[in-house]
Chains A and B, each alone.
Chain A
């Protein structure tokens, strides 16, 4: 019997499409699974536990404890905080976000509020410069120069200061017209008559070959080893000073003397390699006394302090001294009342003017119609508006920035003239190493120039003028009073001769 078409067709299940296709079944299962997963993940993201999920990155080290405390710790809901966000530079939103920083933790004054326009200040959010969510190791104060040049490149608009007091236009440190010359180096306020060139000559003679050149035999025994710099002492050898004999670091740099260590520290960790920032003030008692022994008076006393201290501590000696003084000055008065030490004043003035004593290094000035030794006024920190760290520049020789101290000349050195010279090179010496363009830095480094560094504004400057400066030191060395101990020591040693 032949099969009919109907019979053949009947072999196929005509309702096959009613059955669920395996692909459709899997599509439904996967769809429901993803739907559930999406809803659960979204709910988690909305919770405070899920704050890290929606965070674009971990908080910086200072704020990292808030990583799991939800966004509202810093963010005000529905108020844009990013400066580039739509409404992020709206004064109201900026105030709200700044309030989050200033109300609880920080207290930062406006940037030169008396010289910056209100329109500029009111859109200066903390986040304008301090970018968060860049991870724990990201520095909040490591800013691009554009953060500063945004206003300083058009200072006419952002500053309300008069043209005379207004800061100069700053666009790019590395360009000749991009940053003004350092104002702090315009003059040397110091009054000490001192010649670096002379003191770096062997034996420190006024002129080369001068018979006054000092050899080790001229030094007291206690100083010889120090100035031999670790070499065997040869009494016939001339004393050769180096920079470190007078300029002592304010902090040790153990472990960072090596150039490669310094470079590694600078480039990879971008942290200060050591705590050394400045050099300590030069001390007469410590750095000059080996050669410049005072025969009559201790160093560092002013007229009144000297007279009062002597009178208070050693009355017997004072009486004896006054007697001798009276004899010399033919004065009949034996008992001189306090405040009328005219004889003493005359003698002190004589000593001060003596070219072999005070006046050898100091200049004199008048105070209350009395002649006094002028304050030295040697700045410990030269840059008043910038931070400079010697500790970050250990790989650079002193001569690179202070070439005038190393000038070689056989001529007599006029210490007075040299004292007026600023012994620091200008901005061009910085530009030799500090390069703005990363590719230029990389090229120089690959060419073998190891001393290359960034040229960002924050390398030297700080925005918050009221905040502690990275080099927390005062300007000029304070000319304070004497220590009574030093007077006592001087008198006990019997050095007082009139």
Chain B
């Protein structure tokens, strides 16, 4: 759908749409001049333009069955989308000329406003599909499958707990209780290693790091053996249980997080997170720096998940609106055609 990749294809259909609009307007102007006033949708030119607009709307709706029948190889998707976009845009002017630049009564006004709404939502979606993926590519390196955000967040929480358990031993008594992540209590199926990670059998920990390897930028797993100062254990476990872990697991359905509240404010923005971890690093021995950096990365990843979820909403929610409004438009269009022929 990106414009730059298929510029010739888009130019072809944009030109066709412009040709239809200009030809329709000229034809309408000549007809109106001959009639001595603005002719309506029932005139010869009005019917021709209305029929063209109706056929285009019918073609636009074919995108839905075409998706269902994609195995039938009914032409490249990019061609369908370019035609869908530009011919669809032409329906607005064509319908407006067809109606003699009037909205008419309640029914035809509904139809016209609905068409405008569908066009606007389509253009909005087109813009979103150009802008947001590009933005996400540059700004959300931790992007994951949207439906898996909750699962990955839980995994990250488990990773962090395992890392702290390996490094500092089990969580000391008297600190804030951790959220229960037993397999049976979770509503999703992806988590399988809870018991192993919490048993402390591992001698090594996995620390994620963002690395640049050529043009690719992403997180890769690095195996590192570290030694930490046990004196930091209580402080780090305390901050993890009260602030970091609730942040990593927030907004996940089915989880009862015991320490939600004031602690989350410390990680609300990138700056507050930076301040929080800077203070924590200063309070701990240098040997804990690697552990703290990993925790900071997990928090940053969780924040990116939140942003990704919003971006996905902007990217995909319009389709529900656009598609359902198109269905309504199609039904009302058929009704309009029948009524117009009957009571022209």
Contacts and interface: CB of A to CB of B under 8 A. Distances in A.
Interface string B147-171: 1100110010000000000000000
Interface residues of B, number: 56
Interface string A34-52: 1101110110011000001
Interface string A1-39: 111000110111100110101010011001101110111
A262 B317 CA distance: 60
A444 interface: no
B201 A35 contact: no
Interface stretch (B183-191, B230-238, B261-269): B183-191
Contacts of B203: 1
B108 A56 contact: yes
A7 B317 CA distance: 34
Interface residues of A, number: 49
A85 B40 contact: yes
Interface stretch (A70-78, A99-107, A382-390): A70-78
B105 A57 contact: yes
A11 B192 contact: yes
A289 interface: no
B72 interface: no
A34 B110 CA distance: 13
Nearest to A38: B331
B339 A88 contact: no
B339 A45 contact: yes
A12 B339 contact: no
Contacts, number: 139
A496 interface: no
Interface stretch (B8-16, B172-180, B240-248, B318-326): B318-326
Contacts of A77: 342-343
B104 A42 contact: no
A37 B324 CA distance: 11
A31 B145 contact: no
Nearest to A81: B344
Nearest to A37: B328
A219 B44 CA distance: 76
Contacts of A16: 145, 147-148, 151, 190
Nearest to B99: A56
B106 A41 contact: no
A247 B307 CA distance: 88
A259 interface: no
B181 interface: no
Contacts of A57: 104-105
Contact of B328 (A8, A38, A56): A38
A37 B335 CA distance: 13
A34 B344 contact: no
A54 interface: yes
A421 interface: no
Contact of B44 (A26, A86, A133, A146): A86
Contact of A34 (B190, B201, B223, B324): B324
A54 B189 CA distance: 54
Given A7-B193, A53-B107, A144-B37, A12 B151 contact: yes
A2 B193 CA distance: 13
A3 B155 CA distance: 14
10 contacts: A11-B151, A11-B155, A12-B148, A30-B323, A45-B107, A54-B105, A82-B344, A84-B35, A85-B344, A86-B43
Given A11-B151, A26-B320, A54-B108, 14 more contacts: A1-B202, A1-B203, A2-B204, A10-B193, A13-B188, A19-B147, A23-B319, A31-B320, A31-B323, A37-B328, A54-B343, A81-B343, A82-B40, A88-B344
